Amino acid sequence: DAGITQSPRHKVTETGTPVTLRCHQTENHRYMYWYRQDPGHGLRLIHYSYGVKDTDKGEVSDGYSVSRSKTEDFLLTLESATSSQTSVYFCAISVGQGAGKDGYTFGSGTRLTVV
C-alpha cells in the first residue's frame, strides 16, 4: 500500500474551535486531495493540491483552508468548526504521478465530531 497516513484518526471538538487534520505521504506524489464523506452525499472534494504551495478549491470548500508547505504534508484546517462539519475526512494521493489518471489511494480517514 502507498505510504499515506492521516492524523488524528478520531477527534471530538467543540463548536467554534479551529481544528487541523494532517495528511502525510512518503511517496513523493505531486497531487493530494481532501474529501469528506457523509451519508446521502458520498465523497465530496474539499480542496486539492498539485504541488508545494499550489492548492485549489473543490466543491465544498467553504469553512475550510489548506496548506502544503512540503511535498509530503497536506493540512486541512477547519477555521471555526461547526456541527455541519461532523464527518469522515479522507486524504488521497494520485496513483503514480498523474492527476488521478490511474485513480487515487486513500488514507484511513479521520472521524471528526463537532459538539
Partner 1 sequence: RKEVEQDPGPFNVPEGATVAFNCTYSNSASQSFFWYRQDCRKEPKLLMSVYSSGNEDGRFTAQLNRASQYISLLIRDSKLSDSATYLCVVNLNTGKLIFGQGTELSVKP
Residue 54's Cβ-count burial label (10 Å; 0-12, 13-18, 19+) is exposed
Count how many residues are written for the chain.
115
The answer to whether residue 76 forms part of the interface with partner 1 (CB under 8 A) is: no
d(CA 66, CA 22): 10
d(CA 32, CA 55): 9
Q: Nearest-CA neighbor of 113 among 90, 85, 89, 91?
A: 85
The answer to whether residue 87 forms part of the interface with partner 1 (CB under 8 A) is: no
Minimum distance, C-beta of residue 106 to partner 1, in the bound complex (Å): 4
Sign of CA dihedral 32, 19, 42, 58: negative
Which of these segments, 12-20, 21-29, 71-79, 86-94, binds partner 1 (CB under 8 A)?
86-94
Minimum distance, C-beta of residue 62 to partner 1, in the bound complex (Å): 17
The answer to whether residue 102 forms part of the interface with partner 1 (CB under 8 A) is: yes
Task: Pick the closer one to partner 1 by CB: 16 or 111.
Answer: 111
Phi, psi (rounded to 5 degrees) for 38:
-135, 145
Minimum distance, C-beta of residue 96 to partner 1, in the bound complex (Å): 12
Task: Pick the closer one to partner 1 by CB: 80 or 103.
Answer: 103
Interface contacts to partner 1, rule CB under 8 A: 31, 33, 35, 40-43, 45, 48, 50, 58, 90, 92, 94-95, 98-109
